């Protein structure tokens, strides 16, 4: 596989830390030093579909490809306003494509898992062109009265067009069933035959546990994909890590003993947009012409499940 186009779209509403201080017992200083987040975008005027379609159209334009050329759409999403139909099928209509569509929910590791699925589909010759969209609206499931959780998240969408190529150098995925650390329990509709009392409520997170699991998993997995390829951390141009907490990114950087310039971040602008963080950052690096053909990139993500995904990709670019 290779990535030949990227695009991203964010909601227009910017919610700064100072705006949150007005509604919660917190401070810009606490949020900035503990997480790195300065502001985030929250969906209010637009819908998740609006920004997902916008990101997808930008990626197609970047790849110089029509939506009718797509053979498959994979959408990574952890929650949206529809349990069914799939978000990918809704986005398909928005971009005027006619190919099969698939949603995956691997929480924040969704982009890396979607790349893995793409590689497999391309290898067996099932398809030629795939659109991956990561579209996330975590603001829908956090309780905005809980200061430990709400300050972290933001909404956003990003897409990538994938086609045949030889750019995937290594991939490592894992899932370790760990529900209590991070979950959102969906409410059951009225059912006279099932009177179980279900617990319902907003997103629940054990921040400290996730933090420790994240640093340990990402450092282990990055070492693993480097070992698999015989590369060293010095050979990598950029480590594009899941933007969950700047301190987590910094811990991974220090473990690998690499300069700050190789660990780009945008968590300060968007917070944690779940599976969209890595493709949004990739799009920003690409559009600001920071990526050069031949650059080796590491993507490393972790999320609810507990899931992890880390890969090494060579950046070919798209001649734009
Ligand atoms: O995509 C994966 C999603 N999740 C993550 O990646 C989460 C990973 N974990 C984290 O990012 C961090 O654990 C948090 C940012 C969630 C919390 O940071 P922490 O350094 O682990 O703080 P803490 O939970 O130990 O809380 C320290 C103190 C507590 O007060 P006491 O008990 O020391 O008096 C909290 O009540 O900070 C308090 N606190 C706050 N204070 C001001 C917690 N949230 C806030 C807040 N503002 N927003």
The CATH number of whichever domain residue 10 belongs to comes to: 3.40.47.10
Same domain for 298 and 187? yes
Same domain for 151 and 12? yes
For the chain, the distance separating the N- and C-terminal CA atoms, rounded to the nearest angstrom, is: 19
Same domain for 162 and 120? yes
pLDDT at 282: 98
Contact, 313 vs 3, CB < 8 A?
A: yes
Q: Closest ligand 1 atom to the C-alpha of 107?
A: 1
Same domain for 210 and 136? no
Contact, 76 vs 132, CB < 8 A?
A: yes
Q: How far is the CA of 152 from the centre of ligand 1 (A)?
A: 9
Return the residue whose CA atom lies nearest to atom 35 of ligand 1: 148
Q: How far is the CA of 206 from the centre of ligand 1 (A)?
A: 9
Return the residue whose CA atom lies nearest to atom 26 of ligand 1: 148
> Does the C-beta of 243 come closer than 6 Å to ligand 1?
no
Q: Tell me whether residue 68 is in a domain.
A: yes
| Catalytic annotation present for 241 | no
Q: How far is the CA of 205 from the centre of ligand 1 (A)?
A: 10
Q: Tell me whether residue 320 is in a domain.
A: no
Substitution site in 207, 277, 280 for ligand 1 pocket (most atoms within 8 Å of beta carbon)? 207
Q: Tell me whether residue 158 is in a domain.
A: yes
Same domain for 59 and 7? yes
| Domain closes at, from 135, 166, 197 | 166
Q: Tell me whether residue 273 is in a domain.
A: yes
pLDDT in single tens digits along all 320 residues of the chain: 999 999 999 999 999 999 999 999 999 999 999 999 999 999 999 999 999 999 999 999 999 999 999 999 999 999 999 999 999 999 999 999 999 999 999 999 999 999 999 999 999 998 999 999 999 999 999 999 999 999 999 999 999 999 999 999 999 999 999 999 999 998 888 888 988 877 789 999 999 999 999 999 999 999 999 999 999 999 999 999 999 999 999 999 999 999 999 999 999 999 999 999 999 999 999 999 999 999 999 999 999 999 999 999 999 987 55
| Domain closes at, from 166, 193, 217 | 166
The DSSP bridge partners found for residue 298 are 239, 312
> Does the C-beta of 30 come closer than 6 Å to ligand 1?
yes
> Does the C-beta of 310 come closer than 6 Å to ligand 1?
no
Q: Tell me whether residue 195 is in a domain.
A: yes
Same domain for 162 and 310? no
The tally of domains found in the chain comes to 2
Long-range CB contacts for residues 218-223, cutoff 8 Å, separation at least 24: 218/242, 218/248, 218/252, 218/300, 218/302, 218/308, 218/310, 219/251, 219/252, 219/255, 219/256, 221/172, 221/174, 221/300, 221/308, 221/310, 222/252, 222/256, 222/298, 222/300, 222/310
How far apart CA 145 and CA 133 sit, in angstroms, is: 30
Q: How far is the CA of 285 from the centre of ligand 1 (A)?
A: 29
Same domain for 299 and 160? no
> Does the C-beta of 250 come closer than 6 Å to ligand 1?
no
Active-site residue, selected from the candidate residues 241, 272, 286, 318: 272
Q: What is the DSSP letter of 272?
A: B
Same domain for 306 and 198? yes
Same domain for 195 and 153? no
Percent of the chain as helix, strand, coil, to the nearest 5: 40, 25, 35
Same domain for 188 and 115? no
pLDDT at 320: 52
Return the residue whose CA atom lies nearest to atom 10 of ligand 1: 207
Domain that holds residue 162: 2-166
| Catalytic annotation present for 185 | no
- What would the two tokens of residue 273 be? 């947009």
Same domain for 33 and 154? yes
> Does the C-beta of 165 come closer than 6 Å to ligand 1?
no
Q: Are strands 168-178 and 156-163 parallel, antiparallel or unpaired?
A: unpaired
Same domain for 160 and 197? no
Cβ-count burial of 280 within 10 angstroms (0-12 exposed, 13-18 middle, 19+ buried)?
buried
pLDDT at 287: 97
| Domain closes at, from 132, 166, 200 | 166
| Catalytic annotation present for 242 | yes
How far apart CA 290 and CA 269 sit, in angstroms, is: 18
Active-site residue, selected from the candidate residues 242, 286, 311, 318: 242
Residues sharing a CB contact under 8 Å with residue 96, sequence separation 6 or more, in sequence order: 67, 68
């Amino acid at each position: 596989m290779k990535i030949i186009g990227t695009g991203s779209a964010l909601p227009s509403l910017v919610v700064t830390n100072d705006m949150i201080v007005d509604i919660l017992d917190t401070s810009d200083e606490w949020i900035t030093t503990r997480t790195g987040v300065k502001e985030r975008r929250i969906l209010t005027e637009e819908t998740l579909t609006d920004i997902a379609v916008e990101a997808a159209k930008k990626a197609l334009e970047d790849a110089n490809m029509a939506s009718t050329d797509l053979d498959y759409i994979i959408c990574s999403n952890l929650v949206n306003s529809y349990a069914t139909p799939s978000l990918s099928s809704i986005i398909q209509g928005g971009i005027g494509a006619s190919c099969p569509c698939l949603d995956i929910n691997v929480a924040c590791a969704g982009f890396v898992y979607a790349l893995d699925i793409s590689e497999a589909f391309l290898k067996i010759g099932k398809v030629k062109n795939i659109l991956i969209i990561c579209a996330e609206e975590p603001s829908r499931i956090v309780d905005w009265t809980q200061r430990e959780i709400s300050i972290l998240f933001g909404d956003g969408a990003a897409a990538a067009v994938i086609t045949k190529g030889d750019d995937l150098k290594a991939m490592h995925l894992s899932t370790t069933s760990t529900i209590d650390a991070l979950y959102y329990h969906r409410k059951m509709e009225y059912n006279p035959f099932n009177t179980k009392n279900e617990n319902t409520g907003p997103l629940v997170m054990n921040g400290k546990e996730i933090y420790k699991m994240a640093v340990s998993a990402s450092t282990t997995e990055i070492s693993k994909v480097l070992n698999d390829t015989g590369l060293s951390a010095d050979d990598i141009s950029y480590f594009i890590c899941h933007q969950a907490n700047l301190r987590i990114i910094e811990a991974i950087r220090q473990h690998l003993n690499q300069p700050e310039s190789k660990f780009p971040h945008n968590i300060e602008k968007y917070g944690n947009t779940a599976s969209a963080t890595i493709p949004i950052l990739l799009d920003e690096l690409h559009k600001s012409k920071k990526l050069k053909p031949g650059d080796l990139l590491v993507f490393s993500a972790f999320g609810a499940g507990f899931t992890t995904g880390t890969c090494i990709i060579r950046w070919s670019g798209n001649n734009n």
